[in-house]
Amino acid sequence: MTLTPRAIREYDERAPEPEETETATFGLGCFWGPDASFGALDGVVRTRAGYAGGTKTDPTYQSLGDHTEVVQVAFDPDAIGYADLVERVFRQHDPHSQTRKAQYQNVVLTETRAQGAALAEFLRERGLEPDAVGTRIEQLSRFYPAEAYHQKYKLRSEAEFMDAFDEAGYDDAALRESPAAAKLNGYVAGNGSGIADELLAAE
């Protein structure tokens, strides 16, 4: 299957604009895996690997401070709900345990009152008390994008795909924000995406 610069540009032009999406931020260990698995979901438009949940200003991978590796998911609320994303988060970890190292902890960082209410309802329906679970549940104060080499990490291992993005004129920031890159990152990681299949089949 072939990926063309034209297919990338056309897919991204058809995707919802940032102002048409909402964002949700989660930590589930190393951010490479969640970046790929969430990117493959129908209704998820963009993903970003980054750092949040700590107090250090301008964290980096080499100087993380007390921050946690997280993925920020930009989603179309008409196609997938916040509660659906939360359900996926809790399927991917044990809420009754937590790793000691802040870098890889499980955390749900709510961004709005509506997200906080939806999360509380989700936990209540499952008999879980926010103060009694191992999962950190906090209000997001700030999200810091991770370094370029962490963005779409799985996709970056596919030279043929990356060549197509280069030919399309995408720099690191554009690759991070690209809906096509989010889908293909999931595809390369083995999460399977019909949308990625469409991209690869486009002429």
Active site residues: 30
Q: Which residue has the tokens 């939806």?
A: 118
End-to-end alpha carbon distance in the chain: 11
> How many angstroms separate the CA atoms of 10 and 122, rounded?
37
Strand boundaries in 76-115, DSSP class E:
106-110
- Given a contact cutoff of 8 angstroms between Cβ atoms, the answer to whether 67 and 31 are in contact is no
Amino acid identity of residue 109, one-letter, is: L
Q: Show the tokens assigned to 59.
A: 């964290």
Amino acid at 5: P
DSSP three-state, residue 113? helix
Percent of residues in the chain assigned helix, strand, coil, to nearest 5: 40, 15, 40
Chain position carrying tokens 């950190």: 136
